[in-house]
Amino acid sequence: MDLTVGAGGHAKVIAEALGPEGLLVAVDRDQVALDIARSTLVGQPVEFVRGFFGDLTEIARSVEGRRFDGILADIGVSSMQLDDAERGFSFRGDGPLDMRMDRSEPVSAKEYLANVPTDELTRVIAEYGEERFARRVASAIDRARNAGSIDTTGELAEIVRRAVPKSRGSDKDPATRTFQAIRIAVNRELEALDHLLGRFGTLLAPGGRFAVISFHSLEDRQVKQAFRTRAQEGDYQLLTRNAVRPSPAEVSRNPRARSARLRVLRRKREGEQ
């Protein structure tokens, strides 16, 4: 099961490696992603399910209680979503301030920023974005929204850039951390990951492997701690003592892979030590 199929990149490699009796269940909360994945995976042994790993009960119901020999979750926003300015995830192209991975959800980033209390926004930017100027950014956003609505990614990025000093020797845009924090809050990403890490066993067969790819330290710390706890309890084997990092060649081909961290856990079979 690929819980975050996106455009189908990982799924295509997995599906091509399956034997004649194999099946890949491809899941995503984004209907646009599922439609693209259907085209990518034509002719492959794939079953598609619209669902969110933050609700494994519903996914389990969709697959009628089947268990899987492998489960993959690639956490965070996809390149496909980042590259579409209309989705509002990135400040590299000006677009509506949306950021919803599932566009049927009622609250966009624009609506979130219009209503979130300033103290809560400060906490979100500090914790989810690890931004040391969080209070300054939240205050700047509060002043801007009191003067009129914040409608586009470009507007938000400029507000943040004026509030955050650019670090010497860094090419990272000052708006990066705040955009990350707001996206995580809008999509309830850390709550969903916590749900997944607590319940993936309902879908994983004995002997099966659970692999998680994360892209920032908050997620990776969550995965690392959960996997270590499961291994210490004795029913699971930790297959990655340290996170697997992309090779220089992979980063050269795909610069967005540079912060990826892969961790893998294996469920022991009954009676296995």
| Span 175-189, average pLDDT | 93
| Alpha carbon separation from 23 to 4, 63, 118, 200 (Å, rounded) | 16, 12, 48, 19
Strands 68-74 and 46-50, sheet pairing? unpaired
The encoded tokens of residue 50 equal 């619209």
Report the pLDDT value the prediction gives residue 81, as an integer from 0 to 100: 74
**Any idea of the CA torsion for 99, 102, 106, 108, to the nearest 10 degrees?**
0
Q: State the DSSP code for 150.
A: -
Buried b (16+ CB within 10 A) or exposed e, 150-184: bebbbbbbbbbbebbeeeeeeeebbbbbbbbbbbb
Cβ-count burial of 28 within 10 angstroms (0-12 exposed, 13-18 middle, 19+ buried)?
Answer: buried
Buried b (16+ CB within 10 A) or exposed e, 120-140: ebbbbbbebbebebbbbbbeb
Report the pLDDT value the prediction gives residue 171, as an integer from 0 to 100: 75
pLDDT in tens, 34-91: 999 999 999 999 999 999 999 999 999 999 989 999 999 999 776 667 767 888 888 8
Q: What is the DSSP string of 113-144?
A: HHHS-HHHHHHHHHHHS--TTHHHHHHHHHHH
Which residue did the predictor score with more confidence, 215 or 25?
Answer: 25
**Where are the domains positioned within the chain?**
9-80+189-267, 92-186
pLDDT in tens, 94-153: 899 999 988 888 999 999 999 999 999 999 999 999 999 999 999 999 999 999 999 999
**Any idea of the CA torsion for 104, 107, 108, 113, to the nearest 10 degrees?**
180
Q: State the DSSP code for 166.
A: P
Distance of alpha carbon 85 from the chain centroid = 18
pLDDT in tens, 48-64: 999 999 999 999 999 99
Report the pLDDT value the prediction gives residue 16, as an integer from 0 to 100: 92
Question: Cβ(156)–Cβ(150) under 8 Å?
Answer: yes
Report the pLDDT value the prediction gives residue 169, as an integer from 0 to 100: 65
What's the fold here for domain 9-80+189-267? Rossmann fold (3.40.50)
Query: pTM of the full predicted structure?
Result: 0.89
**Residue at token pair 């609506």:** 111
pLDDT in tens, 235-244: 999 999 999 9
As a CATH number, domain 92-186 is 1.10.150.170
Rounded CA-CA distance 103/210 in Å is 28
